[in-house]
C-alpha cells in the first residue's frame, strides 16, 4: 500500500533552485574579531537537540528519504579502483532498492544522492559511470587531506579537476593560518582557490578537529565565507575528530549571521563520522532550527559520508517489514 504521507514529503526529483552565488566581500577583520564562543553553552545547546526533536514511523521514513538527497556519496581510499567508483556511481543513481521504494509508494520516484565525491584521478571514471544523469562530481583538491603543499600547486590541482569534469571542488585550508591567526593570509588563499574554481562550486574544509577552539572555528568560517566559499565543511574525514553537532552549531550560526549581513546564502557540509540514520536526522533538525527550511536542499546542505546510506536503507527496510536486515543486503553499505 502506498504511504501517502511519505509520498507527499519526499522530493520526487532534483529541483533546480536559483541561489545567488556567494561572491564574497572585502576582508574586514572587524566583522569577526569580537567573536568569543562559550564552549559549554554550545555543548549544552547541542546536547538538547536530539532530546527535543523526534520523528517516528512514516514521518521518519520521509525524513530519511529526504536525507539521501543530501549525501555526497564518497570514496577516498588509497585502494580506489575503476570498479569501486563505478559501483559507487551506480549506488548514487539508485540509492534505495526498488522493492523498498515500491512498498513505500515511491516506485515511480527518482531519488539520487546529492553528488559523488572522489579523488582527482577517478573523475574520468565517475564521469563515464554517471553519463546521462545530472549528478555532479565533487573532487577533493589542494593537497587533500593535509593541505601541506604550496598555494601554486593547490591552484593547479583545482584547475585540473575542473577541466576533468568536476562541478564541485572540496578544498582544504592551511590549518597553520588558523592556529597562527593569520586571517588576511587565509582570506587570500581561499579567494585564490575560489577564482581557480571558476564555475565549479567550492566547499571549503576547515578540519575543525584540528582547530583548538570554537572561537577559531567561528572566525575561520567567517573568513572562508568572506573569501567566496559556496559551502563551508567541517572535515576531510581523515582527522581523529570529524563532524560533531557542537561544531556544526558554531558553523551554522556563522552562516546565518553572514547571510544577515550580506544576503548571501552559504551552504553547510558536515563530513566524517556520520554513519547512522539517527545521526543524519539530528543534523537535519539542526539545519531546520538554525537556518530554516530554505537550507534543506542539496544546493545548501550536504553530508560527506560513505557508510551512512547503508544504515538509512536498513532503517527504511525496517519501516516496511518490521525487521532489520543484514548490511550485506544493501550494496555499498
Active-site residue list: 170, 233, 269
Q: Which three cell numbers stand for residue 140?
A: 577533493
Q: Find the helix packing angle between 245-262 and 214-226, rounded to 10°.
A: 40
Distances in whole angstroms, Cα of residue 211 to Cα of each of 159, 217, 312, 323: 28, 7, 30, 42
Distances in whole angstroms, Cα of residue 18 to Cα of each of 67, 72, 259: 21, 20, 16
On whether the CB atoms of residues 72 and 269 are closer than 8 A, the answer is yes
Q: What's the CA dihedral at 121, 86, 307, 117 to 10 degrees?
A: 40
Q: How far apart are CA 142 and CA 140, in angstroms?
A: 7
Q: How far apart are CA 248 and CA 256, in angstroms?
A: 12
Phi, psi (rounded to 5 degrees) for 211: -105, 130
Q: Using DSSP, state whether 250 is helix, strand or coil.
A: helix
Amino acid at each position: 500500500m502506498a504511504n501517502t504521507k511519505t509520498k507527499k514529503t519526499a522530493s520526487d526529483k532534483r529541483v533546480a533552485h536559483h541561489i545567488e552565488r556567494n561572491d564574497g566581500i572585502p576582508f574586514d577583520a572587524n566583522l569577526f574579531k569580537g567573536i568569543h564562543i562559550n564552549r559549554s553553552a554550545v555543548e549544552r545547546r547541542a546536547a538538547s537537540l536530539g532530546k527535543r526533536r523526534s520523528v517516528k514511523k512514516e514521518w521518519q521514513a520521509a525524513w530519511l528519504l529526504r536525507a539521501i538527497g543530501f549525501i555526497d556519496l564518497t570514496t577516498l581510499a588509497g585502494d580506489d579502483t575503476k570498479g569501486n567508483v563505478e559501483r559507487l556511481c551506480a549506488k548514487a543513481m539508485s540509492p534505495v532498492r526498488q522493492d523498498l521504494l515500491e512498498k513505500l509508494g515511491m516506485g515511480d520516484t527518482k531519488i539520487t544522492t546529492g553528488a559523488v565525491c572522489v579523488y582527482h584521478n577517478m573523475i574520468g571514471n565517475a564521469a563515464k559511470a554517471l553519463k546521462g544523469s545530472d549528478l555532479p562530481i565533487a573532487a577533493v583538491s589542494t593537497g587533500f587531506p593535509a593541505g601541506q603543499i604550496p598555494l601554486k600547486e593547490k591552484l593547479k590541482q583545482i584547475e585540473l579537476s575542473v577541466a576533468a569534469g568536476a562541478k564541485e571542488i572540496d578544498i582544504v585550508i592551511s590549518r597553520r593560518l588558523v592556529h597562527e591567526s593569520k586571517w588576511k593570509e587565509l582570506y587570500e588563499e581561499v579567494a585564490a582557490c575560489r577564482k581557480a574554481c571558476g564555475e565549479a562550486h567550492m566547499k571549503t574544509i576547515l578540519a575543525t578537529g584540528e582547530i583548538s577552539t570554537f572561537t577559531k572555528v567561528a572566525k575561520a568560517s567567517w573568513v572562508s565565507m568572506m573569501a567566496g566559499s559556496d559551502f563551508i565543511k567541517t572535515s576531510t574525514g581523515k582527522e581523529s575528530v570529524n563532524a560533531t553537532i557542537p561544531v556544526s552549531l558554531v558553523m551554522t550560526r556563522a552562516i546565518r549571521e553572514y547571510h544577515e549581513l550580506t544576503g548571501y546564502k552559504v551552504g553547510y557540509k558536515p563530513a566524517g563520522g556520520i554513519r547512522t540514520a539517527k545521526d543524519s536526522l539530528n543534523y537535519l533538525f539542526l539545519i531546520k532550527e538554525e537556518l530554516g527550511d530554505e537550507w534543506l536542499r542539496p544546493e545548501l546542505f550536504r553530508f560527506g559520508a560513505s557508510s551512512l546510506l547503508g544504515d538509512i536503507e536498513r532503517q527504511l527496510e525496517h519501516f516496511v517489514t518490521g525487521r532489520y536486515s543484514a548490511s550485506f543486503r544493501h550494496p555499498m553499505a
